Structure 1
């Protein structure tokens, strides 16, 4: 009991020390006179920045942007991110229950053209409205001046806007009457739309990957219990995995709220807290069952405490039970983790390799839980490590199970040897050992059945993992790269490197999907310039001629005749030369794939004039490969199109022609395909052009009429 008291005293002193450190940091910011962040020297290419610092706060006032400048009352200076109780840098701490209006001025570069930026707004307790430069951009829940008038909701959002050169103003109304913390308690992040969305996608994919792994492992252990009811430790460990999966789904990027937007904030918090209580109890009884094979006093106390807490969160609102978290962490989690760690240490002293591995896994898990406790009490800037700690614990448990199965196999082999020896003994001992041999056969049969069931479960697990890892593959490369670079000090490097190599092919598909999506949503920027059509496409023909001749027997070029150019003038178009080169490369690559041996590819540019003085250039690429069915000519420009007659073609992502379609569309043109009888298959596109006559062009015949 004295050791437990000493541990609690140490935890309390650490908490007081960190709180004092934060108070000192806030005190240093009292002299800040204006809520402003100077980003005039910041460039988007430098990456995402946090809007941390001192903001204005009009406490107990919900002020619209157009009303702020007319207020005579001076605002409070508060530190962001932080909860209201610890945010005030001027006076005594504020209450975490209340409402107010934040204001911040951002100074962006004034000499650069405005490009779309994005804000990532995560933890704001517990409802808000956000204006940027006087325009309402985001709403989470309903802001109110009392518990009855506000509607809580907390879903991370990416907010895109076009900034003004120089000064930009953020105004956020925040209210909280429903939980223990209020205010902006996580950093507001600023960056380009691509950077912010990529970061959110990575975080979301990581959480989906973690949740999927935890659910699969949880169901796997529950399956072990269903197959063998005596394996209670599998039931408890499966419950722990599912509890952490539920908690992860409502934190961070709030995967569950994205899947079920109608889920209320109150029930999301109940799931968050309930999963903590269920998970801690499952961890306690799992350790006692697996390593002590008994129910100690702590298990009974844990059952009473956690049952009472679960009943409380089901019956009480969040504004009541959320205040119990800090006492729960100090009086329950800290003692329980200490006792469980002692149990692991005592087991590891037996110097069994599986016991040592389990101890290491539990240390990682305990460290992750402690880090999360510090994060949600605003003592460290990063958190949500519990799922990763649990994955490490899962890995150690898988090794434990593998060694356990190995011991079972050794036992089966030993019984087989004993059976052979028994059969070779003297005849006078046969009658005496008949009963023993029968028992040995029964035990051997039971072990074989158990091994067969375990193998079936293992195969089902691998199949499930292969299916579930489809969505979060975007996160694998970053994770495996970190392991391969030696950032993880365990012996995972060789496995991570294999994963990294096998994901490179998938990455190309993902990059094509990202590029196509950007083109379809008009997020891609084009650098248009005036281009001589004939010269430009002849230049591309020359650049890729050798590449085409690696497979084609002929690669020909045809353009308007010198006479035609002399009559009409030089044809110009407004083009992004790099994007247009991408179109030509994709179509040539497609043509190269489908030609037969000794195939022919022709690249042709034609100029067509229409009524009302309009004109266009028609660029076509034809090969003598197989024709495409007429009913599929439009479908070839769709995503992942694959003709039934193109099985012999080299495999690709199926996105090249879709990307071409979007690039041509962005140039105010069109793209299509046609079959030319007795010649082959042709893909052509059009772009608008205009004609200009220049002196001396009669001497320039370099690009005209070539074949």
Structure 2
């Protein structure tokens, strides 16, 4: 289905081209033409007419209007205008590009046009010419010579205003060419009214200014984009420079601007500048392709381009004007071959590999090749110029701008996608961090609780719940240090359950443990005061510390503990008392009378021994 549509589209395109060419041919047939040096316009008034057709041609003769009046023996040849005389046959001679000649045309006009101002508009002629209208010399460009040393070359356009005085207008033009590749009248000469001159000139110059302005704008635009990007895009630099140089080339080939601003420069310099600037622009285009598709271009082809542009630059700079302008067509053809490589190899390869903007590059290169071919063929006078290289180059640059926009649009989309992905990842990360933080806090809480439990296990007696011997030693050391600083005394009580072995043997170990717990509970009730500390000392023994103690307070506390245990009335059949009791030894002192706390403990232990010796269930201090 798609192939059928493509065939129909191609067929329609060909039919449109045929219709256009037929229309052009019909228009040419309807336009009056010179025949044997005469154009007959006597039957109609015209506003604008190209004076094309067969002009009288006098090779190697410099004739003036008076020569045609004084002699009837001048036998003219005829030559098509506009065209170069190169390749034309005059008798047995085939003309080259150099030489000199005289052109003559008689224009028959409507009698009503006599007395009205008219204009002859001449483009580039020869490389020098002089013109007479109705026997009056009107001017020219440069100086006509019969040898190269006599000629002063100049390619400039001129408008010649005159008022016809009779119905036959005689136009005589002397032309010489020793400086340029094309000789003769190879651009149209137009007969028109002054109003049409202004209108056509404005149209032509506006078109030219638009192209120059467009090239400059695109060049400056790409250069600005190149300078403001964080990561310099060298393809933008190359495209920008190519546009600027092509704008300079457009200025150099603009007849009005070059005539107005460069009239003091010799033709050879202007032509050298034109060709060299064009080669530099071509080089920048190739460099832009190299930086745009670096993985698709063979390095050898880039080097070939460098060498070619360098050789052309040196050649155009030092070769005679006549020589390098004659070889310009071949230079352009090589440019076409190089550009074709970038179109059919690099462009298609980039398209196959799905490079960004490859299709626009292909279209742009096609337009550029057509523009170069058009200039080559029109310069060789093979075809009339349909469009110029500057226009095709502007289209190429605009397509490169589309590529830049497409690339930045794709980059913007990628950045937006990455930003969205980054935001999503950040949100996920924040959630993960929050979750991990909660988990970490929970773990820390559990760890703290475990540490507390571990600390409690490491410092608490598992059976009685009282501090163990380890914590007792730590507290005793601290209290001993405080007593040393303040000069206070400590009270140490050693408490032992009376006849505990008999209690354990009689009631069993579990009941023995219960007995220990009962005594521990009594001690816990006593240590509610901050200055009293109770701990299990070992076996059935307990120890109580009282900071800043007096003999009276220590004894009262000890006796209160003994009495509280006795009041429990816990049965103990093997005890003389019939219930569970304790004996307590009390010792009071401090760093001022004991060098070590162990000495105070030893004193309390002796007091405990004395209490047991005295019958148990007693306090000995």
Could you give the per-residue CA deviations for residues 472-517 of structure 1, whole angstroms, max 9, x where no partner exists?
Answer: xxxxxxxxxxxxxxxxxxxxxxxxxxxxxxxxxxxxxxxxxxxxxx
Is 1:312 the counterpart of 2:308 in the alignment? no
Cα–Cα, structure 1 residues 248 and 90, in superposed 2: closer, same or farther, change >3 Å?
Answer: farther
Cα–Cα, structure 1 residues 368 and 277, in superposed 2: closer, same or farther, change >3 Å?
Answer: same
2:285 corresponds to which of 283, 286, 311: 283
Q: How does 1:474-485 map onto structure 2 within 5 Å?
A: none
In structure 1, the partner of 2:49 is 49
- Tell me, in whole angstroms, the C-alpha distance in 2 between the residues paired with 1:354 and 1:43: 54
Q: Would you say the 8 A contact 1:129–1:138 is kept in 2? A: yes
Aligned-partner SS, 1:125? coil
Is 1:296 the counterpart of 2:299 in the alignment? yes
In structure 1, the partner of 2:105 is 104
2:392 corresponds to which of 389, 393, 406: 389
Is 1:414 the counterpart of 2:417 in the alignment? yes
Cα–Cα, structure 1 residues 286 and 426, in superposed 2: closer, same or farther, change >3 Å?
Answer: closer
CA apart distance, 1:408: 2.0
In structure 1, the partner of 2:367 is 364
In structure 2, the partner of 1:159 is 160
Aligned-partner SS, 1:153? coil
- Tell me, in whole angstroms, the C-alpha distance in 2 between the residues paired with 1:361 and 1:304: 24
CA apart distance, 1:259: 2.8
Q: Would you say the 8 A contact 2:40–2:107 is kept in 1? A: yes
Is 1:120 the counterpart of 2:121 in the alignment? yes
- Tell me, in whole angstroms, the C-alpha distance in 2 between the residues paired with 1:323 and 1:198: 34
Cα–Cα, structure 1 residues 139 and 269, in superposed 2: closer, same or farther, change >3 Å?
Answer: same
Q: Would you say the 8 A contact 1:364–1:392 is kept in 2? A: yes
Aligned-partner SS, 1:77? strand
Cα–Cα, structure 1 residues 371 and 428, in superposed 2: closer, same or farther, change >3 Å?
Answer: same
Is 1:255 the counterpart of 2:257 in the alignment? yes
In structure 2, the partner of 1:236 is 238
Q: Would you say the 8 A contact 2:218–2:398 is kept in 1? A: no
- Tell me, in whole angstroms, the C-alpha distance in 2 between the residues paired with 1:254 and 1:113: 30
Is 1:321 the counterpart of 2:324 in the alignment? yes
Cα–Cα, structure 1 residues 350 and 217, in superposed 2: closer, same or farther, change >3 Å?
Answer: same
Q: How does 1:169-208 map onto structure 2 within 5 Å?
A: 169-208=170-209
Structure 1 unpaired stretches of 5+: 1-31, 432-707
Aligned-partner SS, 2:216? helix
In structure 2, the partner of 1:507 is none
Aligned-partner SS, 1:358? helix
Q: Would you say the 8 A contact 1:48–1:191 is kept in 2? A: yes
In structure 1, the partner of 2:36 is 34
In structure 1, the partner of 2:335 is 333
Could you give the per-residue CA deviations for residues 519-563 of structure 1, whole angstroms, max 9, x where no partner exists?
Answer: xxxxxxxxxxxxxxxxxxxxxxxxxxxxxxxxxxxxxxxxxxxxx
Cα–Cα, structure 1 residues 33 and 240, in superposed 2: closer, same or farther, change >3 Å?
Answer: closer
Aligned-partner SS, 2:382? coil
- Tell me, in whole angstroms, the C-alpha distance in 2 between the residues paired with 1:415 and 1:170: 75
| Paired residues, number | 397
- Tell me, in whole angstroms, the C-alpha distance in 1 between the residues paired with 2:48 and 2:430: 84
Q: Would you say the 8 A contact 2:340–2:369 is kept in 1? A: no
Is 1:138 the counterpart of 2:177 in the alignment? no
- Tell me, in whole angstroms, the C-alpha distance in 1 between the residues paired with 2:322 and 2:303: 28
CA apart distance, 1:172: 0.5
Aligned-partner SS, 1:115? coil
Is 1:373 the counterpart of 2:376 in the alignment? yes
Q: Would you say the 8 A contact 1:84–1:93 is kept in 2? A: no
- Tell me, in whole angstroms, the C-alpha distance in 2 between the residues paired with 1:94 and 1:69: 28
Structure 2 unpaired stretches of 5+: 1-33, 435-621
Q: Would you say the 8 A contact 1:246–1:271 is kept in 2? A: no
CA apart distance, 1:346: 2.9
CA apart distance, 1:111: 4.7
Cα–Cα, structure 1 residues 150 and 403, in superposed 2: closer, same or farther, change >3 Å?
Answer: same
Cα–Cα, structure 1 residues 352 and 308, in superposed 2: closer, same or farther, change >3 Å?
Answer: closer
2:268 corresponds to which of 255, 266, 269: 266
In structure 1, the partner of 2:60 is 60
- Tell me, in whole angstroms, the C-alpha distance in 2 between the residues paired with 1:367 and 1:40: 42
CA apart distance, 1:91: 4.8
In structure 2, the partner of 1:75 is 76
Aligned-partner SS, 2:94? coil
- Tell me, in whole angstroms, the C-alpha distance in 1 between the residues paired with 2:389 and 2:377: 12
After TM superposition, which residue ranges in structure 1, 4 or more long, deviate above 4 angstroms?
87-91, 350-353, 426-431
- Tell me, in whole angstroms, the C-alpha distance in 2 between the residues paired with 1:267 and 1:384: 26
CA apart distance, 1:350: 5.0
Cα–Cα, structure 1 residues 112 and 232, in superposed 2: closer, same or farther, change >3 Å?
Answer: closer
In structure 2, the partner of 1:423 is 426
In structure 1, the partner of 2:521 is none
Cα–Cα, structure 1 residues 42 and 196, in superposed 2: closer, same or farther, change >3 Å?
Answer: farther
Could you give the per-residue CA deviations for residues 177-223 of structure 1, whole angstroms, max 9, x where no partner exists?
Answer: 11211110011111111112210121012101111111121122233
Cα–Cα, structure 1 residues 50 and 426, in superposed 2: closer, same or farther, change >3 Å?
Answer: closer
Is 1:344 the counterpart of 2:347 in the alignment? yes
TM-score with structure 2 length normalisation?
Answer: 0.60
Cα–Cα, structure 1 residues 165 and 412, in superposed 2: closer, same or farther, change >3 Å?
Answer: same
Aligned-partner SS, 1:120? strand
